[in-house]
């Protein structure tokens, strides 16, 4: 076969639901020469990474580690470790990724009760209380930031509620971590999983997870082996503990990446980072509204880092996204599941939560909408965003 040419991908601005653009400092860190996965100096880097993860998650949980695989592996790690065949779990489904939680929970052999809500809405506390009182599950699973709809689920009171029923709270923080508040200890969250390619400004490849002492006790009391050997925390955690028991060859370069991504988070200040995402969301929202685009998530529950807007009637979803990509080098996401062909998903996550990205996508989207016959007054989107920044 002919040898392929040297790698030279086109330059893109990744403003979809993930991955986002990687911070330049993270890319530099990834060019660092490898160490062995049991090298004494690498073990120091592991300890530093764990400690920074604990700070970023607002937790003292000892079992706080990055799983050596992408975000979906974090979901599976939590499910297969917390659930045994016959265990009861309530899964809140108001979007694509809530549905995926239910799918994985079912594969563990657990008894799954699915609590449904319309896409783009969130769950009320009283409704969750009602199902917990009836089912009395071992685990309640919910998505904090539903990537498919842009809906921001309030979870601050869920941990306290779950513990009234001796239930473990499992939270999907894939799109929320590093962008909006996620406070494990204060909110009494028992298990959480996230990813590296969104709010942390790193490439995909690791899934940060954290387990409370209550969750750790539940894992220790299992009567059956964890269904997955690779994600069995009774073994994985030994690699991250003092004895460094060999389990697998860690992805060294990705550890460099998340370590630098977490350093950036802590240097900026976590609260300042949340405020930055909110500022640029408000500017983008003003611009999108000025272009005639409405959000799919309910008012008051719209994610700052993942802006899902309804596609105008008669507009070809794919035609606009292709023009954005081909003419402007900008990627945004289309809809999933019930929202396929109905919404665009525009991400402002991590490194991409900045004014330059807001102005670029608004200016380009305006031209794309005009090209498919939408009546848009030139410059309205950028002007609306600019007014927010000026204020």
Q: Model confidence over 2-46: pLDDT tens digits?
A: 999 999 999 999 999 999 999 999 999 999 999 999 899 999 999
* Mean pLDDT, range 73-100, rounded to an integer: 98
pTM for the whole structure: 0.96
Task: Indicate if the pLDDT at residue 106 is higher than 90.
Answer: yes
Q: Give the pLDDT confidence of 126-175 residue by residue, as tens digits.
A: 999 999 999 999 999 999 999 999 999 999 999 999 999 999 999 999 99
Domain identity same for 50 and 194: yes
Q: What angle do CA 81, 124, 307 make, to 5 degrees?
A: 80
Does 215 lie in the same domain as 337?
A: no
| Inside any domain, residue 348 | yes
Residue at which a domain ends, from 216, 246, 267: 267
Is it the case that residue 245 has pLDDT exceeding 90?
Answer: no
Whole-number percent of the chain with pLDDT over 90: 96
Residue 168 lies in a domain: yes
In a domain, 19, yes or no: no
Q: Are residues 261 and 357 in the same domain?
A: no
Q: Are residues 347 and 364 in the same domain?
A: yes
The runs of H, that is alpha helices, within the chain are: 24-30, 40-57, 71-82, 96-107, 125-135, 158-164, 213-220, 233-240, 252-268, 270-290, 317-328, 355-371, 380-390
Asked whether residue 122 is assigned to any structural domain, the reply reads: yes
Give 201's pLDDT tier (boundaries 50, 70, 90). very high
CATH of the domain at 275: 3.90.1150.10
Instruction: Verify that 194 and 343 share a domain, yes or no.
Output: no
Average pLDDT (313-328) is 96
As a whole number, the mean pLDDT across the chain is: 97
Residues 6+ apart with CB under 8 A from 269: none
Is residue 206 a contact partner of residue 254, using CB atoms and an 8 Å limit?
yes
Q: Which domain holds residue 319?
A: 270-390
Domain-located, residue 2: no
What pLDDT is stored for residue 253 in this prediction? 98
Split into its structural domains, the chain has a count of 2
| Residue 9 in domain | no
**Token representation of residue 333:** 């996401």
Whether 288 and 191 map to the same domain: the answer is: no
At residue 9, the pLDDT reads 93
Give residue 83's pLDDT band: very low, low, confident or very high (50, 70, 90): very high
Which of the four pLDDT bands, split at 50, 70 and 90, describes residue 243?
confident
Q: Are residues 151 and 284 in the same domain?
A: no
Question: Does 34 map to a domain?
Answer: yes
> Does one domain contain both 222 and 311?
no
Do 151 and 39 sit in the same domain of this protein? yes
Instruction: Tell whether the torsion through CA atoms of 192, 118, 199 and 103 is positive or negative.
Output: positive
């Amino acid at each position: 076969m002919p040898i392929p040419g040297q790698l030279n991908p086109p330059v893109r601005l990744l403003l979809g639901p993930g991955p986002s653009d990687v911070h330049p400092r993270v890319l530099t860190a990834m060019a660092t020469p490898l160490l062995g996965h049991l090298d004494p100096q690498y073990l120091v880097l592991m300890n530093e990474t764990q400690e920074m993860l604990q700070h970023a998650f607002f937790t003292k949980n000892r079992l706080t580690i990055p799983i050596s695989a992408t975000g979906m592996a974090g979901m599976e790690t939590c499910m297969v470790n917390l659930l045994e065949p016959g265990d009861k779990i309530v899964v809140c489904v108001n979007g694509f990724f809530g549905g995926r939680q239910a799918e994985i929970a079912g594969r563990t052999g657990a008894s799954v009760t699915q609590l449904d809500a319309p896409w783009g809405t969130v769950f009320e506390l009283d409704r969750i209380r009602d199902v917990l009182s009836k089912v009395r599950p071992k685990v309640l699973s919910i998505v904090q930031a539903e990537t498919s709809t842009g809906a921001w689920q309030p979870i601050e009171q869920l941990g306290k509620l779950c513990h009234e029923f001796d239930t473990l709270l499992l939270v999907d923080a894939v799109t929320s971590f590093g962008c909006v508040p996620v406070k494990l200890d204060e909110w009494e969250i028992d298990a959480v999983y996230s990813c590296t390619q969104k709010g942390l400004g790193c490439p995909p490849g690791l899934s940060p997870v954290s387990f409370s002492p209550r969750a750790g006790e539940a894992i220790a009391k299992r009567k059956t082996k964890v269904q997955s050997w690779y994600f069995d925390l009774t073994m994985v955690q030994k690699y991250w503990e003092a004895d460094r028991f060999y389990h697998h060859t860690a992805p060294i370069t990705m550890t460099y990446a998340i370590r630098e991504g977490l350093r950036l988070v802590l240097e900026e200040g976590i609260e300042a980072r949340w405020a930055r995402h909110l500022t640029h969301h408000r500017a983008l929202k003003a611009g999108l509204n000025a272009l005639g685009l409405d959000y799919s998530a309910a008012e008051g529950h719209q994610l700052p880092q993942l802006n899902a807007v309804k596609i105008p009637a008669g507009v070809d979803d794919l035609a606009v996204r292709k023009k954005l990509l081909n003419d402007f080098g900008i990627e945004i996401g289309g809809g999933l599941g019930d929202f396929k062909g109905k919404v665009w998903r525009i991400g402002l996550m991590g490194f991409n939560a900045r004014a330059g990205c807001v102005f670029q996508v608004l200016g380009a989207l305006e031209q794309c909408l005009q090209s498919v016959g939408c009546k848009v007054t030139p410059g309205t989107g950028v002007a609306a965003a600019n007014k927010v920044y000026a204020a």
